[in-house]
């Protein structure tokens, strides 16, 4: 987006009007099932507050999965302008998109080097996160043949047992840093239980990574993710890699959320209908009206990121929406495009066809919806659909 633009073309081809300091995208607001608002200023402030917490370590940004569902280019551009110099994405496609937003930043690709993709890293000026000896051999062969010195990260597995070379292999490879063109620009590992601050594996991984770092003196290192930042200075190393905390999810479960909220989701009411006591609502007849009531049917379902596990049934209360300033419970199974909400406790004219109800915002945050959905905030954010009209504020 060029400087000064205030709107993006919608899918209908028209430009959606935007307030000063806002950019819009997606289908037109009047045609979309709902409106998803992303506060870019809050994302920047979250990044800055984490950076202050870890000084003098560098605060990078993880923007994989379309910046956790909120818009890779928009988030990347905002953080790049704020001074973020290092970004992490999942794959090459994300790296290409991000490169247009942050022309001069370092971009690391966490999923590493797929076979025969080394030329694409050069074309994008991205760095693979090498997680196996096979990857390392292919990367070294390519770099030698093409005289490429763009660098790569070396991922050491200290206890996650997912990606990464073993500690023994890291020890064996350590002498390579004596070579002038060793090609390692970052040494990294990943914490498995950082959200559980008292988990003993955190201390074991921190200590093990410290031992590996001693063998790679002079190479910048990175261990802490969002929650890892709150484990203290021993986890910070040279660079921290916050992801979900940037987007407002609580990195310290069970404690006050130190992050600013980022997203607001409002969805249109399609219809308000009367339901008699004893009648059921939705698939499987899973919710039975305990009294004569009214059901507001909204234009969002599991195709839009309202997970089916947030359904309200006779056995399990579901998630809530805020309507007329009050929490109203979901009623019945969430379907692909529709969700029912029990609004019987509201005054009769409090909600009408076309009104917007709040699913995220006010006093319902991402963690609240995640809890009602029996999942985590990561899944809520990355499931938000593309059918919403999107507003980027700030």
> How many other CB atoms sit within 10 Å of the CB of residue 353?
11
Distance CA 287, CA 153 (A): 52
What is 263-393's CATH number?
Answer: 2.40.37.10
What single DSSP character describes residue 244? G
| Residue (of 253, 257, 236) closest to 196 by Cα position | 253
pLDDT band with cut points at 50, 70 and 90 for residue 8? very low
Torsion of CA 379, 383, 384, 387, to 10 degrees: 180
> What pLDDT, on the 0 to 100 scale, is given for residue 376?
97
The predicted model gives 207-228 an average pLDDT of 98
3 state DSSP class of 299? coil
Q: Which residue has the tokens 């023994």?
A: 168
pLDDT of residue 22: 84
Tokens of 211: 């031992």
**Tokens found for residue 108:** 């690391």
The DSSP-derived string for 159-196 is: S--SSSB-HHHHHHHGGGGGSTT--EEEEE---SSTTS
pLDDT band at 10 (very low <50, low <70, confident <90, very high): very low
pLDDT at 6: 40
- Closest by CA to 220, choosing from 58, 95, 105, is 58
Instruction: Point out the residues that are catalytic.
Output: 64, 283
Q: How many whole angstroms separate alpha carbon 327 and alpha carbon 300?
A: 17
- CA–CA separation, 191 and 195 (whole Å): 9
What is the Cα 114 distance to its own chain's centre? Answer: 23
Per-residue pLDDT tens for 153-196? Answer: 999 999 999 999 999 999 999 999 999 889 999 999 999 999 99
Give the DSSP letter of residue 288.
Answer: E
pLDDT of 2 above 50: no
Question: Looking at residue 11, what is its pLDDT?
Answer: 36
On the question of pLDDT at 9 being above 60, the answer is: no
CA angle, 46 then 50 then 52, to 5°: 120
Q: What is the per-residue pLDDT for 3?
A: 36
- Strands of the sheet containing 86-89, edge to edge, are 58-59, 239-240, 221-222, 184-188, 152-155, 127-130, 106-109, 86-89, 61-62
Predicted local confidence at residue 18, as pLDDT = 57
Domain boundaries, the chain: 40-247, 263-393
Confidence of residue 4 (pLDDT cuts 50, 70, 90): very low
pLDDT in tens, 117-150: 999 999 999 999 999 999 999 999 999 999 999 9
Q: What is the pLDDT of residues 70-126, one digit of tens each?
A: 999 999 999 999 999 999 999 999 999 999 999 999 999 999 999 999 999 999 999
* Mean pLDDT, all residues of the chain: 94
Q: Which CATH number fits domain 40-247: 3.40.50.620, 3.20.20.60, 3.30.420.10, 3.20.20.10?
A: 3.20.20.10
260 touches 42 (CB < 8 A): yes
Q: pLDDT tens digit string along 327-374?
A: 999 999 999 999 999 999 999 999 999 999 999 999 999 999 999 999
- Both tokens assigned to 262: 């980022």
Q: Is 351 exposed, middle or buried, given 0-12, 13-18 or 19+ CB atoms closer than 10 A?
A: buried
Segment 278-311, tens digit of pLDDT: 999 999 999 999 999 999 999 999 999 999 999 9
- Which residues are bridge partners to 273 per DSSP? 295
């Amino acid at each position: 987006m060029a400087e000064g633009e205030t709107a993006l073309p919608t899918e209908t081809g028209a430009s959606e009007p935007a307030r000063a300091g806002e950019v819009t995208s997606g289908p037109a607001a009047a045609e979309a099932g709902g409106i998803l608002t992303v506060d870019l200023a809050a994302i920047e402030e979250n990044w800055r507050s984490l950076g202050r917490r870890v000084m003098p370590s560098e605060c990078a940004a993880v923007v994989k999965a379309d910046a956790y569902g909120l818009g890779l280019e928009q988030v990347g551009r905002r953080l790049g302008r704020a001074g973020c110099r290092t970004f992490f994405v999942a794959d090459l496609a994300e790296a290409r998109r991000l490169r247009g937003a942050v022309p001069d930043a370092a971009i690391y690709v966490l999923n590493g080097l797929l076979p025969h993709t080394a030329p694409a890293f050069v074309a994008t000026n991205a760095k693979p996160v090498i997680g196996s000896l096979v990857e390392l051999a292919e990367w070294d062969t390519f770099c030698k043949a093409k005289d490429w010195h763009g660098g790569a990260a070396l991922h050491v597995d200290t206890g996650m047992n997912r990606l990464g070379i073993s500690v023994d292999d890291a020890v064996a490879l350590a002498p390579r840093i004596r070579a002038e063109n060793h090609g390692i620009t970052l040494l990294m590992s990943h914490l498995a239980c950082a959200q559980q601050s008292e988990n003993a594996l955190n201390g074991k991984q921190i200590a093990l990574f410290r031992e590996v770092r001693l063998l790679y003196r002079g190479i910048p290192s990175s261990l802490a993710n969002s929650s890892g930042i709150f484990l203290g200075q021993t986890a910070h190393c040279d660079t921290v890699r916050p992801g979900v905390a940037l987007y407002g999810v609580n990195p310290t479960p069970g404690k006050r959320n130190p992050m600013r909220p980022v997203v607001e989701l409002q969805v249109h009411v399609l219809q308000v209908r009367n339901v008699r006591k004893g009648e059921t609502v939705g698939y499987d007849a899973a919710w039975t009206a305990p009294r004569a009531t009214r059901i507001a049917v909204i234009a969002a379902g599991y195709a839009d990121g309202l997970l089916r596990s947030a359904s309200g049934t006779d056995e399990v209360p579901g998630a809530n929406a805020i309507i007329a300033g009050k929490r109203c419970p979901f009623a019945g199974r969430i379907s692909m495009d529709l969700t029912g909400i029990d609004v019987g406790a509201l005054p009769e004219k409090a909600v009408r066809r076309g009104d917007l109800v709040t699913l995220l915002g006010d006093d319902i945050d991402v963690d609240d919806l995640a809890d009602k959905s029996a999942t985590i905030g990561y899944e809520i954010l990355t499931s938000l659909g593309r059918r919403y009209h999107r507003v980027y504020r700030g």
